[in-house]
């Protein structure tokens, strides 16, 4: 058999060149072009940068892996009833101007959180819900986060935030105190609010 | 907008042109069967001789009988000795990589099982932050991807190199150092996730300082390939060499770009995230899994692959189409729609390389399915190859907007991901390790029945896992799309399916524990010593070489 006649046959150089050209093409389309197109997106005026405490809370959101069950990207009503569930309008690139690392998420084991601050603005609710989700949402499979709280007998010290638990969960001689990490996390959750209108002209 | 449209049109036309070129080449017989390159993996006069070091003497006999009962030709002693030396040149580095891989597999399985149980027992083991679902789940993913799959892939790839190039491995020490750096990276990275120092991106959780170890380690494990290529004694590069060579080049670059600190931002980072997330499958795991399948299926059978040219077209089309599919993870998201559309088009175009692989691997086995009874190696690898076809076709369908609208954000995607990385890749790795380790250790597997037990446990476990989680995920997606159904319904209805997944996962973990126990029993020379060395089959050897290798 004449091997040279086979146009598909290969040597090392063709392999390396071909492999790099193809990777370059894919990177150009999926990484470089979005980079060029999105680098000049301006943050909407109504979107405030995160405060230091909110950034600490965002770090806690990352550290505890909230992103593995919660997305931050409501879809268009043409595709899914996200808006009708109160999750908000479909987001645009500008909504994420301060979101690095991005937390778009890929799962909805729990609901979308892009506008959780607007949908559930109660700090008490969030603290109690982190302590024991099932006390607020029966049937929820969200983990409870006892390590973000301190449970002890007696009175809270001055300056401490006591979690106001629902009567079924509260014990008379016990206080549940939120650790600073829990407070920061809730402050981040409350900051999640993209209810302002999407920038005119910004297309998806 | 013109730019977007023209880009879209360009991609589409290119893809259609590729499709026509493919159809044309099929019709003109360009993909006739075997060329010289397809038989490159055999020694002269070896065709027709089966090889499976994982098989017992009885199994080997039946295997040979199934394939070619009147086998007369023998490979020469010189060739057998050369192969023995080639295998010997990789023993240490492959043994180390595969041992580490098995350790990671056990830890990864336990982390996966804990994550699975936590989804239906949310108040179980919540006191410790490192065990919370949001940490143990990414620990599972990273241990599977960078611990088990990567190190098994590296070990198998390095073992294949001298076999494919018919020479001894050059520069094994680079791979040894690379594998060690890599493993240290996985260990430290896992601790980082457990202590809350994740980077926050799926598949890219390890902090960038630790990623340096994986980039350098990943680069170093490629060195022996390039050094050995300079010494090669074969005229043609077999298709497995392409897959391995390209994979070893692609991974360090992908990982470097993806983890570059301070480079990516906001929505662009999301696009990058899934460019990486899908390319780590497309350009790292899949090439190595296919390289192994393309070697072991024909090698065990003693028969070249059905169509060598088709395998090469499969390689290029896989590289081209698969590398651009990542955007389908962001359907409905805030990324430019042209990006998503390109990815959907390329996802559908994936039927070409998948068809090429399917035709080749399945038609090579076709008519010889009885070999699966006799060859422990092929039982895993042929099943894995079938799962590759299944997961790829499923993936193409899942990228379509209508299907994706249901499956996105649900457990269905999780089941699909396991079909690829477990059903395909891990199964192929199991089979490869069963073939390789007897050659590395120069001894047979001590308890052949455990291989069968491992196989049935993971097969049944995975079937339960995949089927129930897919159904649960689909129903979850439908419930979420129905605005009249409260969201919590979509959570509640998945519970029985999540419990079934834990049962399936438990069986898989049990299978892995048995596999690991068997692996270490072999490593410590524990168990009955039926044979001194499982070499190339007693009949192939001169008495001098076959010292102790007679049943």
pLDDT in tens, B195-228: 999 999 999 999 999 999 999 999 999 999 999 9
Q: What angle do CA B483, A103, B124 make, to 5 degrees?
A: 75
- What is the reported pLDDT for B26? 58
Closest CA to B276 of B254, B247, B251: B254
DSSP count for chain B of H helices, then E strands: 22, 0
Count chain A–chain B contacts defined by CB atoms under 8 A. Answer: 242
- Contacting residues of A for B236, CB less than 8 Å apart: 3, 9
- The answer on pLDDT for B545 being more than 90 is no
The answer to whether residue A49 neighbours chain B at the CB level (below 8 Å) is no
pLDDT in tens, B272-301: 999 999 999 999 999 999 999 999 999 999
- The answer on pLDDT for B538 being more than 50 is no
The helix (H) or strand (E) run that includes residue B438 is: helix B427-441
Question: Smallest Cβ distance to A16: which of B249, B309, B488?
Answer: B249
Question: Smallest Cβ distance to A75: which of B123, B332, B495?
Answer: B332
Question: Smallest Cβ distance to B334: which of A6, A92, A103?
Answer: A92
A150 → chain B, closest CA residue = B127
If DSSP states are collapsed to H, E and C, what string results for B51-97? CCCCCCHHHHHHHHHHHHCCCCCCCCHHHHHHHHHHHHCCHHHHHHH
Q: What does each C-alpha distance from A147 to A99, A158, A161, B120, B130 come to in angstroms?
A: 26, 21, 15, 20, 10
The answer to whether residue A66 neighbours chain B at the CB level (below 8 Å) is yes
Max mean pLDDT among B51-65, B235-249, B355-369, B500-514 falls in: B500-514
B270 → chain A, closest CA residue = A102
**Residue A177 forms beta bridges with which residues?**
A150, A162
The single-letter DSSP state of residue A104 is -
- What is the reported pLDDT for B69? 79
The helix (H) or strand (E) run that includes residue A178 is: strand A174-178
pTM of the model as a whole: 0.92
The topology (CATH level 3) of A52-191 is: Cytochrome Bc1 Complex; Chain D, domain 2 (1.10.760)
- Contacting residues of B for A76, CB less than 8 Å apart: 332
- The answer on pLDDT for B551 being more than 90 is no
- Beta-carbon separation of B334 and A71 below 8 A: no
pLDDT in tens, A40-83: 988 999 999 999 999 999 999 999 999 999 999 999 999 999 99
- The answer on pLDDT for B536 being more than 60 is no
- Beta-carbon separation of A26 and B324 below 8 A: yes
- What is the reported pLDDT for B92? 96
CA dist B508 and B419 (Å) reads: 13
- What is the reported pLDDT for B350? 93
- From the CA atom positions of chain B, what is the Rg in Å? 23
The single-letter DSSP state of residue A198 is P
- The answer on pLDDT for A170 being more than 60 is yes
Read off the pLDDT band of B9 (50, 70, 90): confident
B314 → chain A, closest CA residue = A8
pLDDT above 70 as % of chain B: 92
- Contacting residues of B for A35, CB less than 8 Å apart: 264, 268
Torsion of CA B479, B480, B484, B487, to 10 degrees: 100
CA dist A159 and B507 (Å) reads: 51
With both helix axes pointing from N to C terminus, report the angle between B150-165 and B427-441 in degrees, rounded to the nearest 10: 60
- Beta-carbon separation of A6 and B118 below 8 A: no
- Beta-carbon separation of B482 and A81 below 8 A: yes
How many angstroms separate the CA of residue A186 from the nearest CA in chain B?
17
Contact B514, B457 (CB under 8 A): yes
- Contacting residues of A for B410, CB less than 8 Å apart: 107-108
If DSSP states are collapsed to H, E and C, what string results for B139-153? HHHHHHHHHHHHHHH
- Contacting residues of A for B408, CB less than 8 Å apart: 106
CA dist B103 and B60 (Å) reads: 30
- The answer on pLDDT for B102 being more than 70 is yes
- What is the reported pLDDT for B510? 98
Neighbours of A200 (CB within 10 A): 5
pLDDT in tens, A118-127: 999 999 999 9
- Beta-carbon separation of A95 and B334 below 8 A: yes
- Beta-carbon separation of A107 and B337 below 8 A: no
How many angstroms separate the CA of residue B202 from the nearest CA in chain A?
8
CA dist B477 and B537 (Å) reads: 53
The answer to whether residue A188 neighbours chain B at the CB level (below 8 Å) is no
Contact A204, B337 (CB under 8 A): yes
Contact B494, B409 (CB under 8 A): no
- Contacting residues of A for B201, CB less than 8 Å apart: 101-102
Question: Smallest Cβ distance to B266: which of A76, A96, A137?
Answer: A96
Read off the pLDDT band of B174 (50, 70, 90): very high
CA dist B395 and B145 (Å) reads: 19
How many angstroms separate the CA of residue A125 from the nearest CA in chain B?
18
Q: What angle do CA B449, B418, B488 make, to 5 degrees?
A: 125
Contact A104, B333 (CB under 8 A): yes
- Beta-carbon separation of B126 and A84 below 8 A: no
Q: Which two tokens stand for residue B266?
A: 């906001």
- Beta-carbon separation of B272 and A147 below 8 A: no
- Beta-carbon separation of A18 and B128 below 8 A: no
Q: Measured on CA atoms in the order A35, A41, A47, A51, is the torsion positive or negative? A: positive
How many angstroms separate the CA of residue A115 from the nearest CA in chain B?
15
Closest CA to B242 of B313, B152, B174: B313
If DSSP states are collapsed to H, E and C, what string results for B152-206? HHHHHHHHHHHHHHCCCCCCHHHHHHHHHHHHHHHHHHHHHHHCCCCCCCCCCCC
Q: Measured on CA atoms in the order A41, A47, A49, A53, is the torsion positive or negative? A: negative
Q: Is the peptide bond before B495 cis (omega within 30 degrees of 0)?
A: no
B472 → chain A, closest CA residue = A109
The alpha helices in B261-410, defined as continuous H runs, are 266-280, 286-301, 308-322, 337-349, 351-365, 371-374, 376-398, 401-407
Closest CA to B272 of A105, A27, A177, A123: A27
The answer to whether residue A31 neighbours chain B at the CB level (below 8 Å) is yes
- Contacting residues of A for B253, CB less than 8 Å apart: 23
Closest CA to A111 of B479, B105, B306, B252: B479
- Beta-carbon separation of A23 and B132 below 8 A: no
How many angstroms separate the CA of residue A49 from the nearest CA in chain B?
13
A28 → chain B, closest CA residue = B324
CA dist B543 and B534 (Å) reads: 14
Q: What angle do CA B208, B211, B214 make, to 5 degrees?
A: 170
The answer to whether residue A88 neighbours chain B at the CB level (below 8 Å) is no
- Contacting residues of A for B326, CB less than 8 Å apart: 30
Contact B75, B43 (CB under 8 A): yes
- Beta-carbon separation of B37 and A15 below 8 A: no
- What is the reported pLDDT for B4? 63
What lies within 8 Å, CB to CB, of A21 at 6+ separation is: none
Q: What angle do CA A198, A199, A201 make, to 5 degrees?
A: 115
- What is the reported pLDDT for B540? 39
CA dist B276 and B279 (Å) reads: 5
CA dist B60 and B65 (Å) reads: 8
pLDDT in tens, B20-42: 776 666 555 555 445 678 888 99
- Test the B interface: residue of A25, A26, A59 with most B CBs within 10 Å: A26
Where are the domains positioned within chain A? 12-41, 52-191
CA dist A141 and A161 (Å) reads: 26
Range of weakest confidence among A23-27, A33-37, A102-106, B74-78: B74-78
Residues 132-151 of A with CB under 8 A from B: 133-134, 137-147
CA dist B131 and B108 (Å) reads: 13
Backbone angles phi, psi at B533, to 5 degrees: -140, 130
Instruction: Annotate B9-28 with b (16+ C-beta within 10 A) or e (fewer).
Output: eebeeebeebeeebeebbee
- Beta-carbon separation of A139 and B409 below 8 A: no
- Beta-carbon separation of B283 and A8 below 8 A: no
Q: Please report where in the chains the tokens 């076999």 appear, as a residue.
A: B163
The answer to whether residue A10 neighbours chain B at the CB level (below 8 Å) is yes
The single-letter DSSP state of residue A31 is I
DSSP string, B296-324: HHHHHHTS--S-HHHHHHHHHHHHHHHTT
């Amino acid at each position: 058999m004449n091997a040279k006649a086979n146009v598909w046959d290969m040597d090392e150089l063709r392999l390396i060149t071909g492999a790099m050209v193809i990777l370059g093409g894919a990177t150009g389309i999926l990484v470089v072009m979005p980079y060029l197109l999105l680098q000049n997106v301006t943050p909407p005026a109504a979107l405030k940068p995160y405060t230091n405490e909110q950034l600490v809370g965002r770090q806690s959101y990352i550290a505890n892996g909230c992103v593995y069950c919660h997305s931050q990207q409501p879809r268009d009503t043409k595709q899914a009833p996200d808006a009708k569930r109160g999750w908000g309008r479909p987001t645009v690139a500008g909504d994420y101007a301060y979101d690095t690392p991005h937390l778009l998420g890929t799962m909805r084991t729990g609901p979308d959180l892009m506008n959780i601050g607007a949908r559930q603005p109660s700090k008490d609710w969030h603290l109690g819900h982190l302590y024991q989700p099932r006390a607020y949402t029966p049937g929820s499979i969200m983990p409870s986060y006892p390590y973000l709280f301190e449970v002890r007998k007696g009175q809270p010290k001055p300056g401490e935030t006591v979690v106001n638990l629902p009567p079924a969960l509260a014990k008379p001689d016990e206080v549940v105190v939120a650790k600073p990490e829990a407070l920061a996390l809730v402050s981040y959750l409350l900051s999640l609010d993209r209810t302002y209108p999407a920038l005119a002209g910004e297309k998806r | 907008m013109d730019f977007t449209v023209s880009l879209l049109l360009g991609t589409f036309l290119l893809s259609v042109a590729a499709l026509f070129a493919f159809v044309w080449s099929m019709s003109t017989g360009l993909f006739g069967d075997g060329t010289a390159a397809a038989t490159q993996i055999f020694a002269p006069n070896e065709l027709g001789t089966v090889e499976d070091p994982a098989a017992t003497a009885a199994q080997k006999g039946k295997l040979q009988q199934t394939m070619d009962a009147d086998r007369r030709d023998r490979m020469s002693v010189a060739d057998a000795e050369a192969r023995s030396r080639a295998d010997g040149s990789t023993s240490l580095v492959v043994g180390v990589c595969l041992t580490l891989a098995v350790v990671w597999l056990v830890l990864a399985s336990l982390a996966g099982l804990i994550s699975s149980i936590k989804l239906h027992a949310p108040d179980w083991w919540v006191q410790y932050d490192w065990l919370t679902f949001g940490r143990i789940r990414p620990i599972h993913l990273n241990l599977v991807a960078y611990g088990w799959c990567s190190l098994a892939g590296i070990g198998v790839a390095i073992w294949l190199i001298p076999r494919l190039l018919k020479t001894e491995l050059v520069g094994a020490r680079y791979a040894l150092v690379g594998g060690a750096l890599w493993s240290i990276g996985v260990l430290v990275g896992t601790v980082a996730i457990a202590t809350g120092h994740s980077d926050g991106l799926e598949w890219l959780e390890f902090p960038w300082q630790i990623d340096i170890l994986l980039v350098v380690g990943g680069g170093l494990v490629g060195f022996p390939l390039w050094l050995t290529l300079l010494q090669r004694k074969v005229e043609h590069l077999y298709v497995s060499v392409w897959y391995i060579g390209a994979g070893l080049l692609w991974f360090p670059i992908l990982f470097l770009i993806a983890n570059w600190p301070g480079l990516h931002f906001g929505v662009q980072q999301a696009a990058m995230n899934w460019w990486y997330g899908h390319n780590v499958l497309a350009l790292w795991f899949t090439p190595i899994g296919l390289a192994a399948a393309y070697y072991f299926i024909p090698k065990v059978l003693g028969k070249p692959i059905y169509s060598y040219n088709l395998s090469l077209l499969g390689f290029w089309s896989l590289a081209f189409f698969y590398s651009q599919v990542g955007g389908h993870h962001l359907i409905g998201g805030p990324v430019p729609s042209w990006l998503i559309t390109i990815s959907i088009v390329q996802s559908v175009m994936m039927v070409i390389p998948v068809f090429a692989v399917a035709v080749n691997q399945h038609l090579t086995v076709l008519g010889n399915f009885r070999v699966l009874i006799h060859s422990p190696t092929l039982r895993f690898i042929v099943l894995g190859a079938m799962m590759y076809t299944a997961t790829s076709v499923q993936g193409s369908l899942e990228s379509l907007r209508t299907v994706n609208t249901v499956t996105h954000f649900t457990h269905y995607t999780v089941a699909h991901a396991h079909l690829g990385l477990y059903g395909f890749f891990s199964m192929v790795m199991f089979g490869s390790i069963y073939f390789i380790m007897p050659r590395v250790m120069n001894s047979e597997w001590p308890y052949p029945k455990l291989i069968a037990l491992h196989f049935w446990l993971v097969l049944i476990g995975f079937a339960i896992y995949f089927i129930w989680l897919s159904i649960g995920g689909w129903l979850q997606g439908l419930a979420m799309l129905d605005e009249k159904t409260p969201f919590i319904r979509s959570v509640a209805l998945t519970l029985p399916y999540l419990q079934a997944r834990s049962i399936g996962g438990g069986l898989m973990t049990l299978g892995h524990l048995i596999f690991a126990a068997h692996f270490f029993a072999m490593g410590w020379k524990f168990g009955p010593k039926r044979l001194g060395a499982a070499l190339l089959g007693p009949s192939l050897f001169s008495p001098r070489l076959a010292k102790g290798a007679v049943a």
